[in-house]
Every structure is written in C-alpha cells, then in structure tokens.
C-alpha cells in the first residue's frame, strides 16, 4: 500500500473480522499525516461510529483539553487513531481476534506517518502496542523504546472521566510527554526548545 487514500479506501471495504457488519461508519483516524506524535485509542464508541472520527464524545473533549495543555491539536500537529477501526457492539472491548485482524491497518498508518512518539490511551492500546503485561496504574507515564520510536501509555480519557483522582498523575505524564516532544520533535510544536 503506497499512499494514504489507497490505504483508507482499502480499509473501508475490510472484512477481516465481523465488526464491519454492525458499524455505521469506519473510523480510520484524524489529524496530520506529518505528525510526529501519534495517539492510539482502543476503538470507536457510539459517537465516533456515527461521525466517523475518533474521540468526538465526552472522552474526546477531555482528550482535546489534554492535548491543548501541551500545545497539541488534532487539526495542527498530531494524529489520532484506534486499535480497531469499527465500533464493537454495545461498546464492549474489542476481542483479541478483532484487534489482531485490524492491526495491519494501524501498522500501515504508522509506516506512512513515521511518528517519533506514540502515546497509547488506556490498557488495550498499551498492551497491543507496548507490552502484553502493561498495567496502566503502574506503567503510565513511562517511556518504552520500540524500534527507535518512543512509546508511552496514559490513562484513557474515559477512565479520567470516571475517576478524576487520576488527573493529577496524568497532568505530570503530559508534562513529561511535552518535555520529550520539545527535545526530539521539530519546532512546529511552538514550544521554546
Ligand atoms: N475511545 C477510544 O478508545 N477511541 C475513540 O475513538 C473513542 C473513545
């Protein structure tokens, strides 16, 4: 697969698992293809399924606020995707076989974007992208180097809505993320490098 349009239209017709049967819209991803920071969530919820864009519900608003704290913006300098591109019915967790079936699409997105930093939102993204034994409560905010790319896991914004007590730790994780962005990313992030 050589370019983004081809990739997205091939993904539209994907039947690698059965989630396509119950989804409304494919949720391929949103943001800048030139992004140096990629955020990965778990999978579309109800609002995302209706709009065809990741993180547009309440958790998405919180994610946008979190991004703003560190000068990131889905329209300007970051990309947001999910482990699975179609909504699991009734918002259940995507099954291991569904994650596996969807992985080639995310891998192809990563190959085209070539991010320097990948931030995994929540346990499912982190166990799929970082380590099967990842525990968000204990491993959030730590850096992992995988094939020359820096990975970090954060609490999922939906978890932060349920448990606001986790927000101060997430703020510190975001500041650490910002520190490394300023160190290794180019100056389109507007920070004083
Ligand atoms: N939760 C996710 O993990 N992804 C979305 O796109 C929306 C909610």
pTM of this structure? 0.96
Q: Phi and psi dihedrals of 24, rounded to 5?
A: -90, -60
Report CA(38)–ligand 1 centroid distance (Å).
Answer: 14
Token digits of residue 35: 């992004």
Residue 110 pLDDT: 98
62 with 122: CB under 8 angstroms?
no
In whole angstroms, give the CA distance from residue 140 to residue 154: 5
Start-to-end C-alpha separation, the chain: 36
66 with 152: CB under 8 angstroms?
no
Q: Which residue has the higher pLDDT, 192 or 60?
A: 60
pLDDT digit string, tens, across residues 141-182? 999 999 999 999 999 999 999 999 999 999 999 999 999 999
Across the range 51-55, mean pLDDT stands at: 98
pLDDT digit string, tens, across residues 83-137? 999 999 999 999 999 999 999 999 999 999 999 999 999 999 999 999 999 999 9
35 with 81: CB under 8 angstroms?
no
Residue 191 has pLDDT above 70, yes or no: no
Residue 186 pLDDT: 87
Report CA(44)–ligand 1 centroid distance (Å).
Answer: 5
Residue 192 pLDDT: 43
In whole angstroms, give the CA distance from residue 10 to residue 12: 5
pLDDT digit string, tens, across residues 19-44? 999 999 999 999 999 999 999 999 99
Report CA(27)–ligand 1 centroid distance (Å).
Answer: 10
CA angle, 38 then 1 then 116, to 5°: 25
Across the range 58-86, mean pLDDT stands at: 98
Q: Which residue has the higher pLDDT, 192 or 107?
A: 107
Residue 193 pLDDT: 39
Token digits of residue 160: 């932060």
User: According to DSSP H, which parts of the chain are helical?
Assistant: 4-12, 46-51, 58-69, 96-113, 123-129, 136-139, 157-162, 167-184
What is the band of 2 on the pLDDT scale with cuts at 50, 70, 90?
low
Out of 25, 43, 58, mutate this one to test ligand 1's pocket (max ligand atoms within 8 Å of CB): namely 43
Out of 40, 41, 129, mutate this one to test ligand 1's pocket (max ligand atoms within 8 Å of CB): namely 41
């Amino acid at each position: 697969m050589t370019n983004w349009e081809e990739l997205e239209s091939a993904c539209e017709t994907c039947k690698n698992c059965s989630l396509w049967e119950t989804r409304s819209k494919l949720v391929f991803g949103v943001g800048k293809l030139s992004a140096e920071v990629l955020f990965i969530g778990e999978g579309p919820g109800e609002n995302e399924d209706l709009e065809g864009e990741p993180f547009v519900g309440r958790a998405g608003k919180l994610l946008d606020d979190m991004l703003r704290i560190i000068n990131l913006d889905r329209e300007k300098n970051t990309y947001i995707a999910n482990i699975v591109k179609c909504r699991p019915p009734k918002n259940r967790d995507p099954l291991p076989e569904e994650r596996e079936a969807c992985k080639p699409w995310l891998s192809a997105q990563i190959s085209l974007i070539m991010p320097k930093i990948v931030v995994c939102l929540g346990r499912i993204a982190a166990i799929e992208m970082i380590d099967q034994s990842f525990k968000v409560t204990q491993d959030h905010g730590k850096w992992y180097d995988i094939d020359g790319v820096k990975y970090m896991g954060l609490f999922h914004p939906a978890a932060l809505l349920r448990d606001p007590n986790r927000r101060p730790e997430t703020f510190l994780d975001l500041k650490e993320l910002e520190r490394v962005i300023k160190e290794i990313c180019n100056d389109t992030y507007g920070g004083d490098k």
